[in-house]
Amino acid sequence: MPDGVSFTRRNIDLASKPAWFLAVSPLGKTPVLLADGEPIFESAVICEYLEDVYAPRMHPEDPLQRARHRGWIEFGSSVLSAIGTFYSAPDDTALQAAASELRRKFGQLEAALGPAPFFDGERFSVVDAAFAPVFRYLDVFDRIEDFGCLAGMPKVKAWRSALASRPSVRMAVGADYGSLLMDFLQRRRSALSALIARRLEQNNLAAAKA
């Protein structure tokens, strides 16, 4: 939320969605913003609503640049979709294919990024807010294995670091976000779930030998 705007955050277990949440979330997905009791769903739509209602404005003033930003926000949604394909991949072949698709998408971002630290240089924009959740997923994936999603992409890596150091990005999720996501991934019964199990077994064996 913008600075100075009070709000209450309620976490949802997407594996066991409460009835009140399903009543306000037509797609059954997070996030959902309840504004004066009216549910606003889909991340990009929520960002646009906040942009309309609260200052300071985060979109560029120039219409062409504003349209460009909105296009990359939509691209961010496609990256999140690719991440869902990645963590749901049923076998190792599909997992590697999904990792390759993520590398391709991040390569497109590498070509589009300008001067650091943020997408639009010094100015934090809605595009940055849209991609912060993308990089939070990568933070957890990196605990499992280096999938090479950002290999050879210095601008994307610098952007990721800049976002991670921003207080508003860090405070957007609870301190237990990483452990909760890891637990979610373990319960997917996917190729990534099996890889996590193998890593845990290897760590336990190493600890037993120490």
Cα dihedral 59, 64, 67, 71 sign: negative
How much is the pLDDT for 39?
Answer: 95
How much is the pLDDT for 145?
Answer: 94
Tens-digit pLDDT profile for residues 36-56: 999 999 888 999 999 999 888
Structure-token pair, residue 113: 């990024």
How much is the pLDDT for 1?
Answer: 54
pLDDT string in tens for the chain (210-residue length): 556 678 888 888 877 899 999 999 999 989 999 999 999 998 889 999 999 998 888 999 999 999 999 999 999 999 999 999 999 999 999 999 999 999 999 999 999 998 889 998 999 999 999 999 999 999 999 999 999 999 999 999 999 999 999 998 998 898 999 999 999 999 999 999 999 999 988 888 777 777
Structure-token pair, residue 130: 């849209």
How many whole angstroms separate alpha carbon 186 and alpha carbon 196? 7
- The pTM assigned to this predicted structure is 0.89
How much is the pLDDT for 2?
Answer: 59
How many whole angstroms separate alpha carbon 88 and alpha carbon 192? 7
Tens-digit pLDDT profile for residues 177-210: 999 999 999 999 999 999 999 998 888 877 777 7
How much is the pLDDT for 193?
Answer: 97
Structure-token pair, residue 98: 């999904």
How much is the pLDDT for 3?
Answer: 61
Alpha helices in the chain (DSSP H): 19-24, 43-53, 63-88, 92-112, 126-144, 154-164, 167-170, 177-186, 191-209
How much is the pLDDT for 109?
Answer: 97
